[in-house]
Structure formats: structure tokens, C-alpha cells
Structure 1
């Protein structure tokens, strides 16, 4: 092989932002040229964005993508470019990579396997291509090779596995590429972020380079593209089972370019970070992209002083901190369309004050501890902080119902009703604040609450977006302790000294979340087996009885409670605000786990459990 310098370019794209998407590709391409690259590979569907959903099914959308490709080609003189886009032929749409060499379109490689698990529904939009098949595609008066192709550049023979293609074991195209004696395989991807996923990805790329005896190069999309999925922009190069290059994930920049000599030596290697770091980085990037792409002017948060709302407040502050560190103050403000000139030596806190407005909405059932926790955290972050009580509104609603039904409501007979009206009474006024600020209202529900419906519809679920709805409470409690120390957030000290509680019952009843539900450490284990692994109640019990110290009767009781609450509350999960996909699984029926709203509720399965 002759010397070859390759580049991977990750880009933060947005569906229907044709001008912006092309501009980011051109900027990355110009950078690759400056760095001396001979060949640059962009991610899967980089021209349109992966999250275009049913736009892919329209006739005009793939045609517009081809028109954008035509605009790109003249900029590819003196370099080879591989870029992803959808291509329609008759009634079928194909997920392809176009290869342009020195300003001439050489061909389209079509994806052979569709991702259909978890957050992916690719069979809805795309048709898989058949191995070995090559046809001619007529475009702009020319016949262009289309299908299962490989290419040559400077004596280097290269091909492609497009994202899911690489995850299909013995069926994957890489084996056929090896038979064709390729020297280099590119994997342009739109692979959603999940905490810890980078370790699996790195192992796959290393194993692939060894298995196929070639250089294996991976490049992923970047950013919160269209609302739910976050892409981490990972770039990897491996040879003979060793990683030669890796970038740092989850950049706030519009694009990143990483250039490699095609030599078997370590060139640049960013360390793999712990899950706690990944969580804060992905969440803060997700919030940043959501804020600027929705053209909103900030965030509003009902800050209770507890774990969930405090987590979200810190994530917003980290968004500001990390955005300024990576982009610089001026570009960060420009991207958010903030006309703002800091007046102190601490612009970070000033900007948090401009972007994040919080309110503590107390009742007679709220404690001084949670009020002080919320106030101190807001002050430490620089957020605006308001405080008011909603007892007047709660009493007004309660009195009207009591008059209508002709009796008093009591905690002995009307517990859930009296709890829920407090949560719901908080919603209208916090929405008013969001409307006044032209801001996004942040919902505070977490995944554990979503599992069992421990959340009030039109109350604490109210919001434009729910940043932590895909993360379990057990992890969040751990993360807050980590964040207090590792992120230097001393305002979390009071939060971390509190026991999680909804504070909806009278204080003398000593309400806590785990008393209402079960220990969070157990809830997350049941959830992983029942939802992630799709185990039955019986399987869940058999697997957990050897791992816990609980008496069989108590363990069965918790398992029955989980399955009954899960099936009873699907309608709530259908109505939760959009959330970021952050973990290996979530319970959002629009992105991961679909479950019938009406069902038999596992009653027969739970009867079998009782018979043990």
C-alpha cells in the first residue's frame, strides 16, 4: 500500500436543516483537506440526519438529499469523500453511503441490515440491500454503480459496513469484504448513545480489525439531533485487535475531524470515562442542543429540593460550564441566541441565571429541610429562585369537590386524591412562568417512577422535556453524591442528606418514596429482569431469590407490586414528555418498550407465583 491519510468527520445535524447540514459537512471537509487527508468518511445519513423519521418515506425527501449531494460534489476536488444519505428507487428507500473521488461520484454502497431493536425502527423506512448485488442507478444523466461495492485509492482497497451491518455476527458484510481482500473497512454510523456503550463498541471495532485482518475505522453522528436520541460522535481506528485512535465523546462543537495515517501505531487515544461522566456530558449536550434547536430562551424548573429536580438543575449548570469551556463564551452565547454581556468575574453563574429559573412550590406538608435544600442549590448554581405556597389553590379545589360530593375528604379514605391535587396544583403556575420566559419547562420524572406510575399526570410530569425519564432513581442518588465531589457542586450537600420523599402526606406520616414503593436497589433489579430482559414474574423471582436476603414472601410481594403497577400505568408512560435515551434501555413506548395500555395485568402469572 502507498501512504494514505484518512479522516473521520462527525457532524451535529438536524432534520430539514438543509443549509446548516451541508454547511457543517463542508466545514468538516475543509478541515480534513487542511489536515492533508486523502479520504474522509462522514457518518450514516449525515446529509439528512438519522432522526428524520417518516420523512424518509416521502418521495421528495430522498430527492432533496440527492440534490444536496449534487451541491457537495464540486467541493470534493482533490479528495475522496464518503457521506451517508437516503436514496429512493420506486417504492423502496435505501440507506446508502455515496463515494465521491476528486469531484466525481463513484457509486453508492447500500446498507444490508436494518436496526430493529430498542430505539430503532429502520424497517419502517428502509429496504435492506442484498449481498453481492450491484446495479446501475441513473442520476443526472449518468449510470452510477449502486449496491455491494468496494473501492480503490492509492493502492488501498476499502469497503463499508454501515452501522447495524457490523452487529450481525456471522452474517455481517465484513466476512465478504475480507474474502475480497480489502485493506480498510469504514463503519459510518448513527449509533445512539447509552452509558457504557463505548466499551462494547470499542471491543467490536478491535475484534473486527483482527477478524478481517484490516484497518477498521468507525465514525458516529454527534449531538441531540432531533429530540430523543443523543449521538456521541465517537471516532475509532483499530488494527490487529488494537485501538490506534479514539476521540473524546460528546463534543459541543458542530463537527469534529480526526485524521490518521494508515499506519499500525497508536496516534491519538482519549481515555474512556466512567458512566457518571458520560451521564452528565450526554445530558448537558442534549439540553444544549434541545434548547438551541427548539429556539427557546431558557429553562424553567419546579425545584423541590429533592434528588430529581436537583439533578436536572445541576445538568443545566453543567451545560453552561461545559459549553463555555469547549466553545468559548462568545460562540456559546451566539449559539443560544443570547444577547448578554456578563457583568461580573463569574460569567458562568450569570448565564445560568439567565437560562434557568426555578421555583419552590411548598404546601403545609413541605418541610423546611427541602426548602433550604432547594434555595441553597439554586444560589450555588446561580439560578433564579422563587418561592411560594400553593395551599390556597389546593384548598380551593378541595372545597369545591367536597361541596359537590357532600362530604369531607380525609387521609384515611382519600389518600391518593389528596396527594395528587397538590402535585397538579403546582403545574399551572409553573407553566405560566415558562410561558412568560418563552422557556422549556423541565419535567422531573425518572425511570423508576415511570415503571410503577409513581408520578402525577398533569402534575410533576408536566413539561416540554423530561431529561432524566430514562434513568433509574438508584443511579441518580449515587450520581448526586459523585457530582457533589467530582463536579465541585457543594450546593448538593443538603440534597444528599435528605431521604427521597414526595412530601404530599402530612409530615407526621413520615412519607418516603421507598416506603411507598420498595427499596430502589431492588426496584432496579426487578426492572432489569422484567423490562430489559423481558422475563416473566416467575423467572424474575427465581433469579432474585438467590441474590437477595429477603424472605420469599416479601420478595414475591415486591415483584407482584412491580408487575401490577407496571401494567396499570402504561397510559402514563404514553403521555410522558419526550426524554433523552441515556441508558442501555428505557420505558418510553415511542423509543424502546411498547406495552398494551389495556391488559390482563399479569394476573395469571402472579397467581402461579403465589403457588410456589
Structure 2
């Protein structure tokens, strides 16, 4: 019986890090050689990194990638290696898999379908390849085939569906590969992480193995490659509708290698089942994203304005989990080395000690801050080992207020100047926390969440200030339940005080009893409206008709919530355009750079909202 030892390698790449990217690929090849692998597949665009964006449009960048491919050939002596690379032909760029066997380049397979939804804009950079077409390509003086090709190894025919190719239903290339009797189909991907997405991939791979009558092999990129998208490094092998191999996702390693002994008859292999938990996926992806962002930006740590509330507390825990998970997987020495730190822990609790080296927090009290939130912030910071600083901003707020009062010739009052008096407190906190970040050569972490971004419930140049906004792509309802999960499941007892507080901006005098939900609407309602409005792109009337059946809310109150959401959404697009970069973590987000483009100036749904009056 024919056998073939195959392997997939997931690699954590970075655009323009030619040396680092090349080394990750070579180390993977050496590891595969040591395990007697015969056919090794890397993910899509693994030489350059998927997130190279407009670099793909240049002439020099794809050409340099091909030179790196040529340099890779001598390392592929004892096996066949498939690696992702962009290829420019005249004025067009193609997303290709290059197949090297015994140091010889056998050919390129070009991607046939481009991802153009959500976070993907592939048509900006790449041209889809025509099915069935193969051309001759000049590779540094040698002629090699490029196009819609299949290959053979140890009497196994194999081919490729490159990422989006596999998601095109009955048009997918896999059916044409099946018609050509291909027995092994590789899917090299750069598929962004989203909570719950792994379930969809498992279903795709299992169903593909049946539909295409082939062993289906999936290999994804790994890590926070270039700032926003996170790749989970998923590797899956399926046969006859069963998962036969799956790796641990979201590794802190530079690469992972998984091998599989392929036989014509796969019935003897046991089926693998996996557990999917969105709370765990969120913390795992965020931890790796923070780690990669920190080391790739060559910063020395994080600074966080810790208010004692839910959002900043979530981010503090994510940093602590970054340290815990990174140290547990890599070991203390390697973890610190990858961050470029020479610090040597001095205690028996290196995780808490390293958190203290990497995370500095500050509680910035105004006259409207409460002792409860101060206690909450202090208790949490000390429980995880973070540096905790605190100061008053009353003098600065007073100085700004008195200057503007003198200039305009009147006193400011909460009755007439509510928004201005709230915002000046948030903005006053920004310069000094930025100063601390500069002094520490650290990244300032912004604390906005998606629900607040939807409606602009955030102060520009205040709480939006930051180098990176870790939770801007997740809603507040999720954040609140995740904090309770983190306290009980992850064991962060320092969250006890946080979880006992009702979310509030604490920008109005205490007698106003300000809460986020009284200013806006219940967060559970915002979640339902935003999913229909932003994810599903429904009209205000559609949303009302749907939620009228799903939510136990008075219809007039529901209409008022929908009016408020769309009015504030339209009014605050300019804020979303200026938010700090955020990680893509959920099935959708509101970042104009990656998922949701909306005009800064618009009619604000006025006609559409008037239609609500007819129901």
C-alpha cells in the first residue's frame, strides 16, 4: 500500500522581516526533515506575510519574494515543499503556492478566487487566475509552469485550494481537482481569527473530504502578523468526514509543525474531537496579539489608565494572561528574549514579577471619581503584580475650565455645558498618561469597546488615546460576562470589586448617579441592534420588526433605542476613523480600515427613521 508522510507548518511572519520569515520557514523544513517528512505544506503567502498590503502592488516586493524562494531551494533536498509567494507578471500580481522538490522548482499554483468581504480586500492587490490555464514562467532563467496544476508524490495525486478558493461552493476548484482524481487537497490559508470560526473551518474540512473524495489538509498562518488581523495557526487533516489531526491553536512559538502518515485507507485512524469556548478563544487570541504587537513594535511594555471599570480591567487581565500563557509555553528565558528584555526574575513568582516589569497602570481621579473605583483599580493591579500609580487631575481640569470661562465671559454649568465638562476630564487624563508611556518606551493601551464605538460614547483624545485598542472589536455585553468568567474560571480574584460595580464613566457629579446604560440603553439591546445594523446591514424598520418579536420591550421604547443607535452611529463616524488600531476578534468589527466603511458625512438615516412612525 502506498504511504506518504505529509506535514503542515504554521509560521508567525511579519511583512518586510525577510530574515525572520526565511528563518521560520527553514527551521520548519529542518524539523520536518528530522521527522522524515516527504511532503511539507506552508500557509498562503508565507514568504512575505499576508498583511503586506500595498507592498504587493510594487514591482520590487514580489520580485524580492521570488529571490527568497530561490534561496530556499537548497534547503529542500530530501522532500517536497509547498510555500506561499506573490508572483508579478507584467502589471498583474498573483497569489501562488510554489512547489519545490529535491531543490528544483516544479511550478506555481495560482489562486483562483479573491477574498473581498469583511477584513479582506484582495482584489486591490491580486488578480484571480483562470481555471484550467497554465503558462510558462521565467524563474531566473529557468522555465517553470504556472497556473492551474496538480502534482504527484508516492503515487498520490495532490493539488491546492488556496484559502478563499475553498469557500466558493459549487464553483470551488476542489470539484475540478476531484474530477482529475486528486487524492490529497491542501488548503494553505491566511484566514483571520474570529471567535467561533474554528467550528466553521472544521465543518468545511470534514465536508470537503467527503464532497471531494480526498484527504483534505488545512494549514493557516499564525500570530498577529501586522497589527490588526490575528491568525490562529490552525492545522487540520480530515478524511471521509472525520477530523484525523488538529493542533493546539494560537501558539506563542515562531512555528508549529504537525505530521501525518497518509495511507490510501484511513479507516484505522481515530476521529478527533475538539472543544470550542468563546471566552477561552478571546483571551487566548488577545494574549498572543498583545505579545506579537509588543515585540514587533519593539516596545518595552504597556501603560494603561486603569479606571477600576470593566474595560480597562479586561485589558489588564489580558496583559497578565499574555505573560502567564507565554511563560508557560515558551519558558521564562525564551519569553523575555523574544520581547528583547534582559530582565531576570528574582522571586518564586516570575509571572507576577514579569507583569510588574511590563505593565504600568495609573488611576487618574477627578472630582467625580469614587473611592469604590479607586479601590477596584488598586486591588486589581496589585493582585496581578502591575505597577499601580495614582494622581488627581482636579487642578488641571480647573485650570482649563477657568481659562475658557475667562475667554468666553461666563461660568460653565452642568445644565448648559454637560458634554464639554465631561469631555475635559477625559481629555485632561490623556497628556499625562501619554507622558508616562513615552518615559517607559511603552505602548499606551486604549480602553474603548465596540458598543461605545458604535454610538460614539467615548471622548476623542481622551479615553480613545492609545497605541493599540485591544477590545475595540468586542461588545460591552461580552466584556461584562467575560470578566465574571475570568474571575471564576481563570481565578482572577482581583476582579471581585470590578464585577460588583455598575459600568459608569464617572464624569458627572455623583448626585447624578451616572451609568453607561442610563446614558445609552441596555448593552444587551445595543448588541442586538448592532448585529442587525452593522453585521447584517439591515434598515431601521427591518431591525424594529425583527426585535419586536425577539425582545420583551415596549415597542415605543424599542423605537427610541433604534433611533438613538442610528443617529449616534451616523454622527460619530469621524471618531471611528481616528480610533487606535484594534485587533479583529469577533465575526465583525467597526474599524473602517478593516471591516466597516461608512461615510463621515451623511443624511443620518433621517428618512429611514421616520418610517418607524408608521409601525
Q: TM-score, normalised by structure 1?
A: 0.99
- Residue 266 and residue 492 in structure 1: after superposition, are their counterparts in 2 closer, same or farther (change >3 A)? farther
Paired with 1:80 and 1:310, the residues of 2 have a C-alpha distance of 49
From 463, 471, 492, the equivalent of 1:460 is: 463
Matched position secondary structure for 1:577: coil
From 360, 379, 383, the equivalent of 1:376 is: 379
Q: Does 1:169 align with 2:198?
A: no
Q: Does 1:136 align with 2:139?
A: no
From 410, 414, 424, the equivalent of 1:411 is: 414
CA deviation map 1:262-283 (0-9, x unaligned): 1424469473330000000000
Q: Map 1:422-441; keep pairs closer than 5 Å.
A: 422-441=425-444
Counterpart position of 1:199: 199
Q: Does 1:495 align with 2:498?
A: yes
Does the CA contact (< 8 Å) of 2:13 and 2:48 recur in 1?
A: yes
Q: Does 1:594 align with 2:614?
A: no
Paired with 1:293 and 1:602, the residues of 2 have a C-alpha distance of 42
Does the CA contact (< 8 Å) of 2:135 and 2:145 recur in 1?
A: yes
Structure 1 runs (4+) greater than 3 angstroms displaced: 265-270
Paired with 2:243 and 2:346, the residues of 1 have a C-alpha distance of 46
- Residue 269 and residue 254 in structure 1: after superposition, are their counterparts in 2 closer, same or farther (change >3 A)? farther
Q: Does 1:37 align with 2:40?
A: no
CA deviation map 1:455-487 (0-9, x unaligned): 000000000000000000000000000000111
Paired with 1:446 and 1:462, the residues of 2 have a C-alpha distance of 13
Q: Does 1:395 align with 2:402?
A: no
Q: Does 1:572 align with 2:575?
A: yes
From 467, 478, 486, the equivalent of 1:483 is: 486
Paired with 1:428 and 1:267, the residues of 2 have a C-alpha distance of 59
Matched position secondary structure for 1:546: helix
Q: Map 1:74-473; keep pairs closer than 5 Å.
A: 74-263=74-263, 264=266, 265-266=268-269, 269=272, 271-473=274-476
Paired with 2:273 and 2:448, the residues of 1 have a C-alpha distance of 33
CA deviation map 1:493-549 (0-9, x unaligned): 000000000000001110000000000001000000000000000000000000111
Paired with 1:221 and 1:22, the residues of 2 have a C-alpha distance of 14
Counterpart position of 2:19: 19
Paired with 1:405 and 1:191, the residues of 2 have a C-alpha distance of 55
Paired with 1:269 and 1:345, the residues of 2 have a C-alpha distance of 38
Paired with 1:18 and 1:337, the residues of 2 have a C-alpha distance of 19
- Residue 256 and residue 385 in structure 1: after superposition, are their counterparts in 2 closer, same or farther (change >3 A)? same
Counterpart position of 2:517: 514
CA deviation map 1:287-341 (0-9, x unaligned): 0000000000000000000000000000000000000000011000100111111
CA deviation map 1:216-251 (0-9, x unaligned): 000000000000000000000001111101111100
Does the CA contact (< 8 Å) of 2:242 and 2:271 recur in 1?
A: no
Paired with 1:90 and 1:577, the residues of 2 have a C-alpha distance of 37
Paired with 1:98 and 1:240, the residues of 2 have a C-alpha distance of 28
Q: 1:145: how far off?
A: 0.6
Matched position secondary structure for 1:586: coil
CA RMSD of superposed structures (Å): 0.8
Paired with 2:271 and 2:515, the residues of 1 have a C-alpha distance of 49
Paired with 2:360 and 2:610, the residues of 1 have a C-alpha distance of 49
Paired with 1:368 and 1:608, the residues of 2 have a C-alpha distance of 46
Matched position secondary structure for 2:577: helix
Does the CA contact (< 8 Å) of 1:195 and 1:582 recur in 2?
A: yes
Does the CA contact (< 8 Å) of 2:8 and 2:41 recur in 1?
A: yes
Paired with 1:433 and 1:442, the residues of 2 have a C-alpha distance of 12
Paired with 1:19 and 1:60, the residues of 2 have a C-alpha distance of 17
Does the CA contact (< 8 Å) of 1:248 and 1:271 recur in 2?
A: no
Counterpart position of 2:529: 526
Counterpart position of 2:565: 562
CA deviation map 1:165-203 (0-9, x unaligned): 000001000000000000000000000000000000100
Matched position secondary structure for 1:262: strand
Paired with 1:370 and 1:72, the residues of 2 have a C-alpha distance of 56
Q: 1:364: how far off?
A: 1.2
Counterpart position of 2:539: 536
Paired with 1:461 and 1:341, the residues of 2 have a C-alpha distance of 34
Matched position secondary structure for 1:72: helix
Does the CA contact (< 8 Å) of 2:243 and 2:273 recur in 1?
A: no
| Unaligned segments of structure 1, at least 5 residues | none
Paired with 1:176 and 1:496, the residues of 2 have a C-alpha distance of 55
Counterpart position of 2:553: 550
Q: Does 1:504 align with 2:507?
A: yes
Does the CA contact (< 8 Å) of 2:151 and 2:158 recur in 1?
A: yes
| Unaligned segments of structure 2, at least 5 residues | none
Matched position secondary structure for 2:83: strand
Paired with 1:268 and 1:23, the residues of 2 have a C-alpha distance of 34
Q: 1:611: how far off?
A: 2.1
CA deviation map 1:7-42 (0-9, x unaligned): 000000000000110000000111111112110000
Matched position secondary structure for 1:40: strand
Paired residues in the alignment total 612
Q: 1:142: how far off?
A: 1.3
Q: TM-score, normalised by structure 2?
A: 0.99
Counterpart position of 1:4: 4
